[in-house]
Amino acid sequence: MKINGAQILLRALKEEGVDTIFGYPGGAVIDIFDAIVRYFSDDFKFILVRHEQAAVHAADGYARATGKPGVCLVTSGPGGTNTVTGLATAYMDSIPLVVFTGQVPTPLIGNDAFQEADIVGITRPCTKHNYLVPKVEELAHTIKEAFTIASTGRPGPVLLDLPKDMIQAKTKFDYPKSIEIPTYKPTLKAHPPSIARAAELIRRAKRPVIYAGGGVLTSGCHRELLTFVQMTGFPVTMTLMGLGCFPGTHPLSLGMLGMHGTYRANMAVNHSDLLLAIGARFDDRVTGRVEDFAKDANIIHIDIDPTSIQKNIKVDVPIVCDAKDALERLIEALTLEGRHKETEEHTRNWHAQVNAWRNEQRLRFDRTSDIIKPQYVVEKLYELTQGKAIISTEVGQNQMWAAQYYLFDTPRTFLTSGGLGTMGYGFPAAIGAQIAFPDKVVIDIAGDGSIQMNIQELATVKQYNLPVKIAILNNGYLGMVRQWQERFYDNLYAHTDIMVAPDFVKLAEAYGALGLRATKTSEVEPLILRALETRGPVIMDFVVDREEGVYPMVPAGAPIKEMILV
């Protein structure tokens, strides 16, 4: 039996185990939306967002929280162009997404037709791959390729552009169980000689540090990482993207490293003689001045993407493979032949040194202040959720305070735009996570600037009665830029004062959500408790100290040991 492209698409999504689609309708995709409601209403949860950018971020949040590819469906032209920020966000952070855009009918392509945009051309540099599907006979196969590419190797977003006449054309549905893409073969297995060299460096290391990134989460090897740490006693620092891949409360966790990392993490990396990088890419916010980064250390770099290796930093032992395979092989090697006796002695001294750094400079803020300190809000959120919430963030100070003061013990509970730094990411990402985990507490830690970038999604949470909580650390500034202006631009606050803002409590109410405000430190705890008890969306508006800064801080381009501590 022949069915049309719309039905082929939806049957293929079923085959892929997709249960949720985020999207927004339009002329070019009207047939697909019709088919969703007419034939597939029991198969998919369709989440109607209020802006296509939010659809992509929500699918991204869903993907980060679950590990499954997120799926979006939007129309042609502006529908597609609105997905660009979401795609670029997911691409930078290696998040698997499959995004379907409508396209004008094939005979009109190139004619500047109504709602036409060359979305394949526009998104080429911000997707892992993309396709225009010209014939309905190619649709099923292309969808299989898209899911394969999006979710394997170093994952990323894949976009499929679907002309309207192709969607309406009919053919037989035949979905391949698996496919070979001859030109796409990620290296999954570690090269044994590299493992042997790495194992020898690990045995000899006196001042080792593990530098774990988002790749540990992608690979799903947090258990192997824990085993490895138990075997070796190596302390672990995590990138922003890696938070949760190793328990934040573990005594060997150094917290985050880099520009706003902990003092002990940066000192440990700086003084290390072995740096074991796992699924991390030596981003400039991590390394600071590259010439000074871990310059006495042998560096082992495990990454599935060969382009990550030797890109920013010269490494001694590159290992291109799935992080899980590398850790399993290293655990095997160390089981056969343990660490050298005398190095275990050194490791004890190293632990003592790391602890000394910890005690020397802890993360801190003024705990006596009656004006609300934003760090205090994050700390209270951590306490009152027992560290079990899924936390998304916007970008800027809110993001850094969340990373510093909420300790993540479980993988896939921290959703943040690390690479692209997309303001407006956190709220829709929280929506995606809440849909995947309806019974979990999901909180977007936001700033008053960022939250306004996708505030329209309050209608979405209301429509689906999602109990997403938003904690606005409201300082009336674009706080991170203001902090730089204070530090490096003689206090000239060029266009970072945003005191003209909506009343967030009334705004919540306007959308039918609950709005709460705290203006004093003593009000913070009761307010959070009330929000957590509320079975529905809540905006918590914390009016915080306007000029609080994120510290410690490494100025851009400085070595990471040169921290402004305050």
Partner 1 sequence: MENRHVISVLVENKPGVLARVSGMFSGRAFNIHSLSVAPTIVPDVSRMTIVTYGSEAIIEQIIKQLRKLINVIKVQDLTSGDYVDREMALVRVKATSAKRADVLRIVDIFRGKIVDIATDSMIVEITGGAGKIEAMIELLTPLGILELIRTGTVALPRGRKSPRYSEPTE
Shortest Cβ distance from residue 121 to partner 1 (Å)? 7
Task: Select 146 or 430, whichever has its Cβ closest to partner 1.
Answer: 146
Instruction: Please give the Cα distance from 428 to 53 (Å, whole number).
Output: 9
Check residue 388 for interaction with partner 1 (CB under 8 A).
Answer: no
Task: Select 182 or 557, whichever has its Cβ closest to partner 1.
Answer: 182
Residue 486 in tokens: 């204070």
246 assigned to active site: no
Check residue 110 for interaction with partner 1 (CB under 8 A).
Answer: no
Query: Tokens 């001045």 — which residue?
Result: 289
Task: Select 132 or 423, whichever has its Cβ closest to partner 1.
Answer: 132
Cα distances from 438 to residues 152, 386, 442, 466, in angstroms, run 27, 18, 9, 8
Segment contacting partner 1 (CB under 8 A): 125-133, 248-256, 443-451, 477-485?
Answer: 125-133
Handedness of CA 370, 376, 381, 387 (dihedral sign): negative
563 assigned to active site: no
Task: Select 287 or 347, whichever has its Cβ closest to partner 1.
Answer: 287
In the three-class reduction of DSSP (H, G, I as helix; E, B as strand; rest coil), residue 120 is classed as: helix
Instruction: Please give the Cα distance from 349 to 253 (Å, whole number).
Output: 17
Instruction: Please give the Cα distance from 93 to 218 (Å, whole number).
Output: 10
Count of residues near partner 1 by CB under 8 A: 18
Query: Tokens 């499954």 — which residue?
Result: 68
Write down the catalytic residue from 267, 480, 540, 563: 480
Among 107, 110, 135, 181, binds partner 1 (CB under 8 A): 181
Task: Select 156 or 552, whichever has its Cβ closest to partner 1.
Answer: 156
Write down the catalytic residue from 114, 310, 337, 520: 114
Among 230, 310, 335, 349, binds partner 1 (CB under 8 A): 310
480 assigned to active site: yes
Cα distances from 226 to residues 65, 143, 255, 439, 535, in angstroms, run 20, 36, 15, 27, 36
In the three-class reduction of DSSP (H, G, I as helix; E, B as strand; rest coil), residue 464 is classed as: coil
Segment contacting partner 1 (CB under 8 A): 81-89, 306-314, 363-371, 465-473?
Answer: 306-314
CB 204 within 8 A of CB 347: no
Instruction: Please give the Cα distance from 357 to 266 (Å, whole number).
Output: 10
Shortest Cβ distance from residue 192 to partner 1 (Å)? 22
Residue type at 356 in one-letter notation: A
Check residue 305 for interaction with partner 1 (CB under 8 A).
Answer: yes
Instruction: Give the pairing type, strands 298-303 and 70-74.
Output: unpaired
Q: What does the longest C-alpha to C-alpha distance in the chain come to?
A: 74
Among 182, 193, 342, 535, binds partner 1 (CB under 8 A): 182
Check residue 149 for interaction with partner 1 (CB under 8 A).
Answer: yes
CB 163 within 8 A of CB 76: no
Among 30, 108, 113, 120, binds partner 1 (CB under 8 A): 120
Check residue 141 for interaction with partner 1 (CB under 8 A).
Answer: no
238 assigned to active site: no
52 assigned to active site: yes
Instruction: Please give the Cα distance from 442 to 431 (Å, whole number).
Output: 8
What count of other Cβ atoms lies within 10 Å of the Cβ of residue 460? 26
Shortest Cβ distance from residue 283 to partner 1 (Å)? 16
Task: Select 180 or 337, whichever has its Cβ closest to partner 1.
Answer: 180
Check residue 121 for interaction with partner 1 (CB under 8 A).
Answer: yes
Segment contacting partner 1 (CB under 8 A): 303-311, 411-419, 422-430, 492-500?
Answer: 303-311
Cα distances from 253 to residues 236, 381, 478, in angstroms, run 5, 21, 31
In the three-class reduction of DSSP (H, G, I as helix; E, B as strand; rest coil), residue 4 is classed as: strand
Among 14, 129, 141, 250, binds partner 1 (CB under 8 A): 129
Write down the catalytic residue from 52, 224, 394, 457: 52
Write down the catalytic residue from 103, 145, 147, 164: 164
Q: Which residues bind partner 1 (CB under 8 A)?
A: 120-121, 124-125, 128-129, 132, 149, 181-184, 305-307, 309-311
| Residues acting as catalytic residues | 52, 114-115, 164, 480
